[in-house]
Amino acid sequence: MKTAPNLEQTEAVRTTVREGYARIATAGNERRSSKPSCCCGSAPPSPEEVARQIGYDAAELAALPEGANMGLSCGNPAALAALQPGEVVLDLGAGGGFDVFIAGRKVGPAGRAIGVDMTPDMLAKARRNIAAYRAHAGLDNVEFRLGEIEHLPMANASVDVVISNCVLNLSPDKPQVWREIARVLKPGGRVAISDLALLQPLPDGVRDMVEALVGCVAGAVLASETEAIARAAGLTDIVLRPKADYMKAMQAFQDPLYLKIVQQLPAGTSPADFITSLEVTARKPKAFPAP
């Protein structure tokens, strides 16, 4: 397992990611352009098409505030979590609020959906969408907090479910993220994460691409490493489900980021040979030592 990066490396990664996502937030729907800039791909036909490909239904998408779906997903963690009325759910790297607004409807008036994001421009975009969500859903149960996923602005044992959608790859200190997940979960609480993982190490040329970092690729780790990190944080019942169809869809979209990646791969290989969308579920034991 890799050692944690030093402070200088950590801040350099965060600055790159924050600046990249600030551009996405302030530019509107970047997926209408040809510039590779956003997570897990950059320019398929539309965010709605991406969302449908990875399991969101038409009713969920139609109910979203305008602009909440920026096509930054690689899975559907709210569905994976099987959210129940009355639960408190926390979304790591909430962006424009896409999964938070979906989760809010699922947990209902007695529940709460909280999004955390470290990019002020994304946070502002999500907060602007709250009024439309309240008007359409008739619910006042969502909020967004500024913070890093390595240092969550949440109390110990305060959350029933942690979700995240194609964000953990961006963290320069993944073990710390998983320790924070374990800290904020209530005993017996659960995790449902959609992310990218490696099937084999990426060539150096891909890891050196800034676009690949902001696109959730250069920060990916082996699936087995994800499991080991989650287990070391004290979580149990860890299940990993690779979803190869996502990468095939990105290639079919002729996504500019992935076309660049192809140029760096060994002859006869494709991104799907190296990268997969990964569903991760886990649980915090009911008997968990206090931090």
CATH code, domain with 254:
3.40.50.150
Residue 1, domain member (yes or no): no
DSSP 55: T
Q: Strand, coil or helix: what is 91?
A: strand
DSSP 97: S
Alpha carbon distance 92, 115 (integer Å): 6
Residue 288, domain member (yes or no): no
142 bridge partner residues:
113
Q: How many structural domains comprise the chain?
A: 1
Residue 177, domain member (yes or no): yes
DSSP 42: S
Q: What is the domain range of residue 37?
A: 7-283
Residue 291, domain member (yes or no): no
Q: Rounded to two decimals, what is the model's pTM? A: 0.80
Q: Phi and psi for 32 in degrees, rounded to 5?
A: -90, -10
Per-residue burial over 159-174, b = 16 or more CB atoms within 10 Å of its CB, e = otherwise: bbbbbbbbbbbbbbbb
Structure tokens at 48: 């709605």
Residue 2, domain member (yes or no): no
In this structure, are strands 275-283 and 236-243 parallel, antiparallel, or unpaired?
antiparallel
- Residue-by-residue pLDDT tens, the chain, 291 positions: 455 556 665 565 565 666 555 565 556 544 333 333 344 444 445 666 666 566 667 677 667 667 665 555 666 778 888 999 999 999 999 988 989 999 999 999 999 999 999 888 889 989 999 999 999 999 999 999 999 999 999 999 999 999 998 889 888 899 999 999 999 999 999 999 988 888 888 787 777 765 565 556 667 888 999 999 999 999 999 999 988 777 766 666 666 666 777 787 888 888 788 888 899 999 999 987 766
